[in-house]
Structures are given as structure tokens and as C-alpha cells.
Amino acid sequence: MSEKVRYVSDSSFEKEVLQADKPVLVDFWAEWCAPCRMLAPTIDAIAEQFGGNAGVVKVNVDENTSTAQRYGIKGIPTLILFREGKEVERVVGATSKESISRMIEKHVTVATT
């Protein structure tokens, strides 16, 4: 796993995601989820690509049920992009690196202007 990807929990979600000063992509996942494991290298690559412009974190839905419930996670993987403490984009299911990049770029550009 990339060192740029952090694991967050129910207790650290607010500080790490909602209070972040840049957009944060949250990967809701679980160990037993095959599509989640397939998406993991893509998430690592996204973290490397966006470096200091956007954060990338993972939330294990089995270990952090209150955060998963709070955001209505029904299927995994679910990727949610937060900006200024609010959900701005959501993708359910495995998707391409390009589509994730485009989703983040829209908000990184806006955040830095």
C-alpha cells in the first residue's frame, strides 16, 4: 500500500476527512471484498498522483460501522470525495483510474483557485 494512503476510523474520520483543508477521497472497503482488493492498486496510484493536492484515505466498513452507516454505504467499494467537509462526488463499484482522476481534478482545480 502507498504510504500516502491512510486508514481512518470512526473516531478519526471527522479530523482526517471533514476538517481537512483539501479534498479527500474516501475508499469504503472490506478485506473480504474482491472488487475492493482489485481497486486497491488504483487507489494507491491516485494517492501518488495527487500527493499534496488531495488526501486519500480508506475506511474499513466492518470495523467502522457508524461512519459507513452515516454515509449510507450499501455496496462496496464506494468512493466518496469530500471537500470542505461535504460530500461532492460518489462512485459505487470498481472504476477506472481515469474516472477517479477526473472526479478529483474537478475539485482540486476549484479548491486551489
Domains of the chain, residue spans:
5-101
Q: How many residues does the chain have?
A: 113
Q: What is the pLDDT along the chain (113 residues), one digit of tens a residue?
A: 668 899 999 999 999 999 999 999 999 999 999 999 999 999 999 999 998 899 999 999 999 999 999 999 999 999 999 999 999 999 999 999 999 999 999 998 655 44
Q: For the whole model, what pTM was predicted? A: 0.93
Identify the pLDDT of residue 11.
98
| CA–CA separation, 112 and 14 (whole Å) | 22
Q: Is the peptide bond before 41 cis (omega within 30 degrees of 0)?
A: no
Catalytic residue among 5, 8, 17, 33: 33
Catalytic residue among 5, 25, 26, 36: 36
The domain made up of 5-101 has a fold known as Glutaredoxin (3.40.30)
Longest dimension (CA), the chain: 40
- 36 among known catalytic residues: yes
- 113 among known catalytic residues: no
| CA–CA separation, 15 and 46 (whole Å) | 21
